[in-house]
A = this chain, B = another copy of it.
Amino acid sequence: PPTRCTDFDMAYFQSYSHVGIHEEMIKDRIRTETYRAAITQYQSSIAGKVVVDVGCGTGILSIFCALAGAKRVYAVDASEIAIQANEVVKANNLSDKVIVLHGRVEDVEIEEEVDVIISEWMGYMLLYESMLGSVVVARDRWLKPGGLILPSHASLYMAPITHTERYSESIDFWRNVYGIDMSAMLPLAKQCAFEEPSVETITGENVLTWPIVVKHVDCYTITTQELESVTARYKFTSMMRAPLHGFAFWFDVEFSGPAILPTNSHTQSLRSSITASDTNSLGSSQSKKRVKSDEVLILSTAPEEPPTHWQQTLLYFYDPIEVNQDQVIEGSVTLSQSKENARFLNIHLEYASAGRSFVKESVMR
């Protein structure tokens, strides 16, 4: 039975009815160009095939797929923006190819199996918004065995960071305000600035050491249950002496074929035929990409990469902790869908280093 559409879901869909949010996403060239490149790379898997675009928004990815030769694209969105997507499709004379369905993937009906699922489902910290669940529902309802999911994999990373500038700006600022000592503001200033995760752009210089992978998602196999709660233990060794201000989270997604070839022989032959017909496309075959990983298209939101509208998500401590070079920073982090509103993300961070330990709970709303 489909999950219930809550008032929170309605508010969530409503938030996507405003044009500004789509403008911001489309204007993120890293995001949109990478999706377009992926469609080009997989053109031979899309041409003549049936595609579903989960959360189509204004319909731009659906139209890219139609222009890449898709036989039919089901553009699904539960937000009112679907009405606009339909207008755009009509104005581009693509109504015979792109079928806009205004509703949840749980509720709309598609009367055939699909070859490809495309979706831009990633939220801040990858998992915020919990939209990946909709991709899983679409996959389980409609994707042919051996079908393609774009993107196919996602990884959430975490690293300790130092960011004295940011800390000074919001916190130390109060120590001398036009000559007045307003340090009495510090406790509330820290709470207001750092209680919740903060979406902001940092650079590689803020990062104290190599990141760990908090969660690796294989879109071909992930289940919605797995997404309800994700826990990772971390153990970092600081590469420098610096004040540790907290942790940064970012993600990347990868556009690859199914990692595990299905044992079913029907789908195996389907996979082979995709690979075989792929030679004249720009992007070369999937199996090749699985081997030569430098040819796999990756959309990265890492601090050392050009900034995207996702930026990075920062979890600040209320007070910085001085760490030495080679000092070990360890603990665990749990990201779970809020029980109250599955679109919210509860973050439980445990930290221990040099005899200090604490727990920080926060919610991304």
Contacts and interface: CB of A to CB of B under 8 A. Distances in A.
Interface of A: 18-20, 23, 26-27, 32-33, 36, 58, 60, 63-64, 84, 87-88, 90-92, 170, 173, 177-178, 180-185, 188-189, 191-193
A14 to B, nearest CB: 13
B192 A88 contact: no
Contact of A36 (B64, B84, B170, B178): B178
Contacts of A63: 180
A19 B189 CA distance: 6
B60 A177 contact: yes
Contacts of A177: 26, 60
Contacts of A91: 181-184
A166 to B, nearest CB: 13
A19 B177 CA distance: 14
Contact of A88 (B60, B173, B182, B193): B182
Given A185-B84, A188-B84, A180 B23 contact: no
12 contacts: A18-B192, A19-B191, A23-B173, A26-B177, A26-B178, A32-B178, A58-B182, A60-B177, A60-B180, A84-B185, A87-B185, A88-B180
Contacts of A191: 19
Copies of this chain, tallied across the complex: 2
Nearest to A22: B185
Given A32-B178, A178-B32, A180-B63, A19 B185 contact: yes
A339 to B, nearest CB: 25
Contacts of A36: 178
A160 to B, nearest CB: 25
Contacts of A87: 184-185
A37 B151 CA distance: 58
Given A32-B178, A183-B91, A184-B87, A192 B60 contact: no
A345 B119 CA distance: 40
A87 B87 CA distance: 58
A182 B22 CA distance: 12
Nearest to A91: B184
Contact of A178 (B60, B178, B180): B60
Contacts of A64: 178
A193 B19 contact: yes
A58 B189 CA distance: 11
A203 to B, nearest CB: 23
A97 B184 CA distance: 18
A193 B90 CA distance: 23
Contact of A20 (B178, B180, B193): B193
A173 B19 CA distance: 12
A83 to B, nearest CB: 9
A32 to B, nearest CB: 6
Contact of A60 (B182, B189, B193): B182
